[in-house]
Amino acid sequence: MLSGVDIEDSQLGAARAHLADLGLQADLRRADAAALTYEDASFDHVWMMWVLEHVPDPVAALKEARRVLVSGGRITAIEVDYNSVWTSPETDALRALFADVARTMEANGRSDTGAHLEGWLVKAGFGSVDPGERRLHYSGGELFRQLPYVAAVVESTLGTQHEAGRAELKTLATRPGAALGFTVHKATAEA
């Protein structure tokens, strides 16, 4: 059975609509990742993506994930390092834009969650930890496809600030030799 939690009703609503479009059944509940409403050893896999960057105590959330996993069950946790974003060409406006994204993430949680995943998983009691560092970079058609997503993340973080940087980001893929990259950790471990 596919199950999922989020602390925000609106996010659960969006997930329900998305799953319905895909024709998938799931039990979605409102819950804090650090206080799940499932019995011990309920799942054989936990997947969490871009959640630990927001929670006040990431190790507590990972301990809770381990509690609901069967012995030998696996976790996949995906987090980014917002300080690692680079663009080519690098302009003052784009540099200022991504520096402010990292600052805003830090003020509301963490900007470098990916870099901490391995240590937090060990502290939470997981074994066979693979930090899963991936240095992603996009250019050409891949950059065209990726940019709307990056622009949406930037806008959801900064709102309407940095008009010049956001405008440059939207047209980055039209510039000769353009590229954008960042470091993501897709960490895996065993309960």
Ligand X SMILES: C[S@@+](CC[C@H](N)C(=O)[O-])C[C@H]1O[C@@H](n2cnc3c(N)ncnc32)[C@H](O)[C@@H]1O
Positions in the binding site for ligand X (CB under 6 A) = 5-8, 11, 32-34, 49-51, 54-55
Nearer to ligand X, 15 or 99 (CB): 15
Tokens 């406006």, located at residue: 93
Tokens 């590229």, located at residue: 179
Nearer to ligand X, 11 or 139 (CB): 11
Nearest distance, CB of residue 141 and ligand X, angstroms: 23
Nearer to ligand X, 22 or 174 (CB): 22
Query: Could you give the CA distance from residue 45 to residue 1 in angstroms, rounded to a whole number?
Result: 11
Nearer to ligand X, 60 or 179 (CB): 60
β-partners of residue 45 are: 74
Nearest distance, CB of residue 54 and ligand X, angstroms: 4
Nearest distance, CB of residue 51 and ligand X, angstroms: 4
Nearest distance, CB of residue 133 and ligand X, angstroms: 19
* Alpha carbon 117 to its chain's center: 12
- Rounded alpha-carbon distances, angstroms, from residue 25 to 20, 30, 129: 7, 16, 30
Q: How many residues does the chain have?
A: 191
Please answer whether residues 85 and 114 qualify as being in contact, where contact means their C-beta atoms are separated by less than 8 angstroms.
no
Q: Which pair of structure tokens corresponds to residue 75? A: 């976790």
